[in-house]
């Protein structure tokens, strides 16, 4: 396999109606239309999906691992944000 | 499995022709495994090859034992079009062959699926697969034709080189109840439209040689087909009935 100048694309697949698109992986393709077709061949060959999104990897802004502490640490000591202080009434099954 | 004797002889003749098309093209596309320009494209070509192999198995099973037919027939007993046996060449040649053949196969299967003949069940399933093969070939034709000078020149050369094998697709086949003239007109209109969009010239010159008219369907094949068959059949011939 030789290297190509093709950009990288991130692939999101919705497995069933009602679920949201989930990141499935990434691939190379010269443009969006072929990225969609490559995604179909690579990630939905066993009937995994009903819908595909492709996004140029370059378009994704990611949080940096270096910023982990200021980003995520402050949430750790705020237990009141978790819905654990409620008593679940009897007879409620799907909460 | 033995031949489906509920089918008449002409139906089995037609099944052999369509089955050999699918089998031979499947093998040619499989030759790209490990050699395709990029990994993503290799998977795409292998997917198409597997679709065709599935079609070939159904069609050849209508005629007789699929393994015997695929691995133990001599060159002259194959009834595939000469187009599908043409070597892969560069990627442009493979795409031109795909464009010509999958456009034909899509139009043909759509017609067979709509009719109520013996091929309707297979065609109804395969037409969806083939629609994707056709789309794949068209997408690549557009990008190679309207791409760089190099890709355009290669695609132009490939379309021209395979042009003379395209007339054979519309020769009548016994047992295949389709209107060859209408099929040919639809094919020509579609391929012309794609080539126009790809800024490629429609090749000039005859679409059949006097010697080539219907030749593959009569068992006359081009030089490279023998070598392809040798590779395809040698394992089965060396180890008959082997399995894993």
Which of B37, B40, B139 has the CB atom closest to A42's CB atom? B40
- Non-local CB neighbours of A78 within 8 Å, separated by 6+ positions: none
- Non-local CB neighbours of B198 within 8 Å, separated by 6+ positions: B141, B142, B144, B145, B146, B155
Contact A41 B39 (CB under 8 A): no
For residue B214, pLDDT beyond 90: no
Q: Give me B55's structure tokens.
A: 């079609």
HSE at residue B177, side-chain half, CA atoms within 13 A, is 11
Q: Give me A63's structure tokens.
A: 């949080």
User: B167: buried, middle or exposed (CB in 10 Å: 19+, 13-18, 0-12)?
Assistant: middle
pLDDT in tens, A45-94: 888 889 999 999 999 998 888 887 888 888 778 877 877 777 878 888 77
Which residues from A are below 8 Å from B135, CB to CB?
A: 37
Contact B44 A29 (CB under 8 A): no
Contact B43 A37 (CB under 8 A): no
CA distance B20 to B79: 6
Strand partners, A53: A12
Fold of B9-238: Ferritin (1.20.1260)
Min Cα distance A28 → chain B (Å) is 7
Q: Which of B33, B39, B40 to mutate to test the interface with A (most CBs of A within 10 A)?
A: B40
pLDDT in tens, B117-129: 999 999 999 999 9
CB pairs under 8 A between A and B: 32
Contact B139 A41 (CB under 8 A): no
Q: Is B148 on the interface with A (CB under 8 A)?
A: no
User: For residue A3, what pLDDT band results from cuts at 50, 70 and 90?
Assistant: low
Domain boundaries, chain B: 9-238
Fold of A8-81: Ubiquitin-like (UB roll) (3.10.20)
Contact B143 A30 (CB under 8 A): yes
Domain boundaries, chain A: 8-81
pLDDT in tens, B26-53: 999 999 999 988 899 999 999 999 999 9
Which residues from A are below 8 Å from B37, CB to CB?
A: 2, 4
Q: How far is CA B130 from the centre of its chain?
A: 11
Query: Among candidates B211, B195, B194, which has minimal Cα distance to B203?
Result: B195
For residue B107, pLDDT beyond 50: yes
Min Cα distance A43 → chain B (Å) is 11
Confidence check on the interface: ipTM exceeds 0.85, yes or no: no
Residue of B nearest to A29 (CA): B40
């Amino acid at each position: 396999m030789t290297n190509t100048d093709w950009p990288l694309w991130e692939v999101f697949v919705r497995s069933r109606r009602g679920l949201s698109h989930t990141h499935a992986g990434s691939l190379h393709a010269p443009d969006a239309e072929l990225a969609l077709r490559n995604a179909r061949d690579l990630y939905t060959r066993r009937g995994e999906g009903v819908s595909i999104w492709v996004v140029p990897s370059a378009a994704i802004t990611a949080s940096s691992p270096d910023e982990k502490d200021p980003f995520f640490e402050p949430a750790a000591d705020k237990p009141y944000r978790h819905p654990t202080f409620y008593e679940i009434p009897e007879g409620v099954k799907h909460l | 499995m033995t031949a489906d004797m509920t089918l008449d002889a002409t139906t089995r003749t037609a099944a052999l022709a369509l089955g050999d098309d699918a089998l031979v093209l499947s093998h040619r596309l499989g030759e790209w495994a490990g050699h395709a320009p990029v990994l993503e494209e290799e998977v795409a070509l292998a997917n198409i090859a597997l679709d065709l192999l599935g079609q070939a198995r159904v069609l050849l099973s209508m005629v007789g034992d699929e393994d015997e037919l695929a691995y133990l027939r001599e060159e002259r007993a194959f009834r595939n079009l000469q187009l599908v046996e043409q070597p892969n060449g560069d990627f442009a040649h493979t795409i031109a062959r795909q464009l010509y053949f999958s456009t034909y196969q899509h139009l043909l299967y759509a017609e067979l699926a709509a009719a109520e003949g013996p091929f309707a069940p297979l065609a109804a399933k395969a037409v969806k697969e083939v629609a994707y093969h056709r789309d794949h070939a068209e997408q690549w034709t557009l990008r190679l034709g309207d791409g760089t000078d190099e890709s355009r020149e290669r695609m132009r050369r490939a379309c021209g080189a395979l042009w003379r094998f395209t007339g054979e697709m519309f020769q009548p086949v016994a047992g295949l109840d389709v209107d060859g003239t209408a099929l040919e007109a639809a094919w020509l209109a579609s391929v012309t439209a794609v080539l126009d969009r790809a800024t490629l010239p429609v090749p000039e010159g005859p679409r059949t040689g006097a010697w080539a008219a219907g030749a593959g369907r009569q068992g006359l094949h081009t030089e490279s087909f023998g070598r392809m068959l040798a590779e395809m059949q040698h394992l089965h011939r060396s180890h008959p009935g082997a399995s894993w």
